[in-house]
Amino acid sequence: MGELQQLMQASLGVGLGCALGSMIGLSIRKRSGKTEGLIGGSVFVTSAAVGALGMGAMMLFKWIGG
């Protein structure tokens, strides 16, 4: 379990960066009226999913390379 925690801590910055970046981009897009592609029509849920995927990918890369 300790290895999983280390991977999560090392990958947290990537996940947060992906989530914040996608939240900014998607909120601008939603203001212009383009809501297709959002999960449940929500910018927050879609950004959280993007952040989780980014964090998961980084964890996988660090696990394979480490």
Q: What is the pLDDT of residues 5-43, one digit of tens each?
A: 988 899 999 999 999 999 999 999 999 988 888 999 899
End-to-end CA distance of the chain, in Å?
16
The answer to whether position 51 is within a domain reads: yes
pLDDT interval class at 56 (50, 70, 90): very high
Is 0.75 surpassed by the pTM of this model?
A: yes
DSSP label at residue 39:
G
The answer to whether position 1 is within a domain reads: no
The answer to whether position 52 is within a domain reads: yes
The answer to whether position 56 is within a domain reads: yes
pLDDT for residue 35: 87
The answer to whether position 2 is within a domain reads: no
Q: How many domains does the chain have?
A: 1
The answer to whether position 48 is within a domain reads: yes
pLDDT for residue 3: 86
Residue corresponding to tokens 């009226």: 33
Range of the domain at 20: 14-65
